[in-house]
A and B are shown apart, each in its own frame.
Chain A
């Protein structure tokens, strides 16, 4: 078996609307290794959630344009829905962004799970619920929760329940889309740790963890991919990317994060001026150039991906010139 669970090559998926194409995912390439948690970060509109829907749903108006997404050697982008269906939950699964609203308010959680797995050809018998119970105990949820309605659970409990349901069939690959965004800090920590635990216990194979919060990724991801406005910006091992970022956008993003120990009174942080470009019918060129202080003529052409070290790649023409002097 190959080392990569998922190989994405130059993937393009656009939202096709009357006015033209919204190029939300425009030539992204990366691999996810077996047993790895890859963090995907960027601000709203960078295409990180489009990436999730492109892999899982592929529903209009989102249209697959070109490129490959090889899951366990099969290009799922060209696979007809009929053949892809059995792969859902078994091979690839998603913990969606609005998971907290995913439950039906009129059904007990047990019924909700039964209905869901029957859809995927599994009998919700006693043996099956034995397994569900084990999983719940693993994450410190009382099995009696199954006989409750979703409204009786707190946000953190619902998110945990959804994570257990999404991973019931031990998927090889799971997309975690903003699973910590709607939670309090303490639940965030628990849920993020839970993903690591599911991986360590080999319940899930690999995962991509999509979020706008770099500091959570720093806690759990092995590598981090930074996207900007549908383009690839940088990818690298977590510590290297955070401490020795090369792309001007990655560096600005990290610099804008408030941390305990830094107060406005002592040192004001700097944000990034301006907003991301509209992606409707957007042309050639680096998409960060509109906000980049180091913009040159070269940037009118889309930058190529450049290898920095074994696992570290960056897409910027001028990163060498933009690095602060005296340090790396």
Chain B
């Protein structure tokens, strides 16, 4: 792969949270996670709640400081970015959209405010603001006359998420962290938002980190898939390869539980989600000292801790 296309390198990323006041207890949320982000790709980060997928996203967004490991954005360590205008530059390029569109907007203000604030902090010199906004809205299939001037409660969740994508378009976004972007939207509307996201990603050379627990959606949009389990990255690689030949017991269990229309779950043996913890332990014990192994080109699996 062309090295110039890698815009972010995440290396041995670890995050520990300590709780308690006097006797500190440590929780390892993310452990030793490494991956690269390639320009114009959609990468899905999949895992169950508590697997650390959101924590990874938050570290990339500089909302959390890694305990150890590095995140290099275009060759620069992002933890070193501390000066105000350097930070601003970073946020001009790396943005996020979260799960609940209603909490991204202040209910007391019209939705236009997100654009006003954007221009105020990032593009003060911009003259044709209205034009730029309208252009971005049209790009996300929204009718500016129907959207601008409205309050958040007057719009639907799908419209608000599109609006946030339009906002990201006004900045020259390189990396967009989409954390459960569409899980609050209905089946019939979410496909529209997803299609839009991928289309823009390809057109503008934007990289999307799609954090989700929905495996069907992950397959649908992503080029690369990262599977996380208990803070570890357990399987990583080309989406089609991983879905066709999962190796890690956790990934296998996950794929066996996908509800699919037209195929019923196997009822041969009783399904217990707890069982996977034992399966993973056995798997690691059978392969001592192996660590990460490339099982085929663009498909890497964690064989032991």
Which residue on B lies nearest to A191, using beta carbons?
B273
Q: Which of A260, A269, A273 contacts B260 (CB 8 A)?
A: A260
Asked if residues A256 and B259 are in contact (CB atoms below 8 Å), the reply is no
User: How many of chain A's residues have a CB under 8 angstroms from any CB in B?
Assistant: 43
Interface presence of B261 (CB below 8 A) = yes
CB A150 to nearest CB in B, in angstroms, measures 16
Asked if residues A214 and B274 are in contact (CB atoms below 8 Å), the reply is no
Residue interface bits B50-70, CB-to-A below 8 A is 1, else 0: 100000000000000000000
Asked if residues A258 and B261 are in contact (CB atoms below 8 Å), the reply is no
Which of A163-171, A215-223, A311-319 sits within the interface? A215-223
Interface presence of A270 (CB below 8 A) = yes
List A contacts of B220 (CB < 8 A): 258-259, 262-264, 269
Which residue on B lies nearest to A272, using beta carbons?
B188
CB B49 to nearest CB in A, in angstroms, measures 6
Asked if residues B188 and A43 are in contact (CB atoms below 8 Å), the reply is yes
List B contacts of A123 (CB < 8 A): none
Given contact pairs A43-B187, A44-B186, A252-B188, A184 touches B261 in the complex (Cβ within 8 A): no
Asked if residues A185 and B158 are in contact (CB atoms below 8 Å), the reply is no
Q: Which of B213, B262, B274 contacts A184 (CB 8 A)?
A: B213
Which residue on B lies nearest to A139, using beta carbons?
B272
List A contacts of B158 (CB < 8 A): 275
Residue interface bits A258-294, CB-to-B below 8 A is 1, else 0: 1111111000111111010000000000000000000
With A and B bound together, what is the CA distance between A271 and B189 in angstroms? 6
With A and B bound together, what is the CA distance between A192 and B264 in angstroms? 12
Asked if residues B265 and A188 are in contact (CB atoms below 8 Å), the reply is no
Question: Which of under 10, 10 to 19, 20 to 34, or 35 or more describes the interface residues of B?
Answer: 35 or more
Given contact pairs A190-B272, A218-B264, A257-B216, A264 touches B221 in the complex (Cβ within 8 A): yes
Interface presence of A21 (CB below 8 A) = no
List B contacts of A187 (CB < 8 A): 48, 273
With A and B bound together, what is the CA distance between A129 and B55 in angstroms? 40
CB B152 to nearest CB in A, in angstroms, measures 15
Asked if residues A189 and B195 are in contact (CB atoms below 8 Å), the reply is no
Asked if residues A215 and B259 are in contact (CB atoms below 8 Å), the reply is yes
Interface presence of A125 (CB below 8 A) = no
Interface presence of B190 (CB below 8 A) = yes
Given contact pairs A264-B195, A271-B188, A184 touches B219 in the complex (Cβ within 8 A): no
CB B82 to nearest CB in A, in angstroms, measures 37
Asked if residues B272 and A140 are in contact (CB atoms below 8 Å), the reply is yes
Interface presence of A212 (CB below 8 A) = yes
Asked if residues A271 and B192 are in contact (CB atoms below 8 Å), the reply is yes
With A and B bound together, what is the CA distance between A272 and B186 in angstroms? 10
Which residue on A lies nearest to B192, using beta carbons?
A271
Interface presence of B27 (CB below 8 A) = no
Which residue on B lies nearest to A215, using beta carbons?
B259
List A contacts of B272 (CB < 8 A): 140, 190
Residues of B within 8 A of A (CB): 48-50, 156, 158-159, 186-192, 194-195, 198, 213-217, 219-221, 239-240, 243, 253-255, 257-262, 264-265, 271-274, 276
What are 27 A-B pairs at a CB distance below 8 A? A43-B186, A43-B188, A154-B50, A155-B49, A156-B273, A184-B213, A186-B254, A186-B273, A188-B257, A188-B259, A189-B257, A189-B265, A212-B186, A212-B187, A218-B262, A219-B265, A253-B188, A259-B216, A260-B255, A261-B219, A263-B219, A264-B194, A264-B198, A268-B195, A271-B192, A272-B188, A275-B158
Apart from A186-B48, A254-B261, A263-B221: 19 A-B pairs, beta carbons within 8 A: A43-B186, A43-B188, A140-B272, A185-B257, A186-B273, A188-B257, A190-B271, A218-B264, A219-B259, A257-B261, A259-B219, A259-B220, A259-B261, A259-B262, A260-B258, A271-B188, A271-B190, A271-B192, A275-B159
